[in-house]
Amino acid sequence: MSITLGRYGTLAVAALTFAACAKTDNTRTDTAAGSVATTHDSAARAHNDYAWTAPQVLGFTAVANTSEIHEGKLASQKATNPQVKAFARQLEADHQKMLDEGTQYASKNNVVPDTTRDDVRDALKDASDEYKDLADKKAGKDWDKEFIDKQVDGHQKTLDKLQELEQNTTDSTLKAMLTKASGKVQEHLTKAQDLKKQLD
């Protein structure tokens, strides 16, 4: 999958190598997941439209982490407030670590990340639009404020989704990764909320 941003390059560079779109054939996805696929049994699936497989979980986390890495890099260049710049560097570093952990899990367990789920496609589109919006705007105090506003909103949405994923996986290793990621995203959210108060 390639999400281009015109002259700003490619948002999902890491997602291209790590979370390349799997075919929409769910049988292939389930096979690739092997024993680690975190699906509910057929009865539970019939009652839960939000069931996620391991490939879908890794597809979502790859998109979420990649988008934050790219926005962090952008903000480290364009932000004028020193605290916002420092926060941007933290975002880039932390989300790169989480992306690497997902890559290692996928490799170790022979999981092919799947980004074809509508939730993930929507997240990727939103991230692409958000990046372009920020890249187009002139640097300054208003830019810093808008960046932080977007971080508050984005991290809240990501946190909600991660917590949903935690409840919908039975694989202990994947659940532990999601729990750890939720904690880090909550940390980012709290920091962004504090910066928002200062900038307002």
Which domains, and CATH codes, for the chain? 6-32+43-199 (1.20.1260.10)
Cβ contacts of 41 within 8 Å, gap of 6 or more: none
Structure tokens at 131: 């990046």
* Residue 23: per-residue pLDDT: 36
Percent of the chain with pLDDT over 70: 75
Which of 25-29, 67-71, 113-117, 163-167 has the least mean pLDDT? Answer: 25-29
Nearest of 3, 47, 49, 55 to residue 29 by alpha carbon = 55
Cβ contacts of 125 within 8 Å, gap of 6 or more: 3
**102 — alpha (psi -120 to 50), left (phi > 0) or beta?**
alpha
| DSSP assignment letter at 8 | G
* Residue 50: per-residue pLDDT: 62
pLDDT at 154 over 90: yes
Per-residue pLDDT tens for 157-188?
999 999 999 988 888 999 999 999 999 999 99
Mean pLDDT of 18-43: 39
* Residue 45: per-residue pLDDT: 40
Nearest of 68, 39, 16 to residue 165 by alpha carbon = 39
Per-residue pLDDT tens for 50-62?
678 999 999 999 9
Per-residue pLDDT tens for 23-35?
333 434 444 444 3
Distance CA 139, CA 187 (A): 26
Mean pLDDT of 13-22: 38
Cβ burial of 122 (10 Å; 0-12, 13-18, 19+) is exposed
Per-residue pLDDT tens for 119-131?
899 999 999 999 9
Mean pLDDT of 46-53: 61
Mean pLDDT of 2-9: 34
pLDDT at 43 over 50: no
Where does the pLDDT of residue 49 fall: very low under 50, low under 70, confident under 90, or very high at 90 and above?
low
Where does the pLDDT of residue 200 fall: very low under 50, low under 70, confident under 90, or very high at 90 and above?
confident
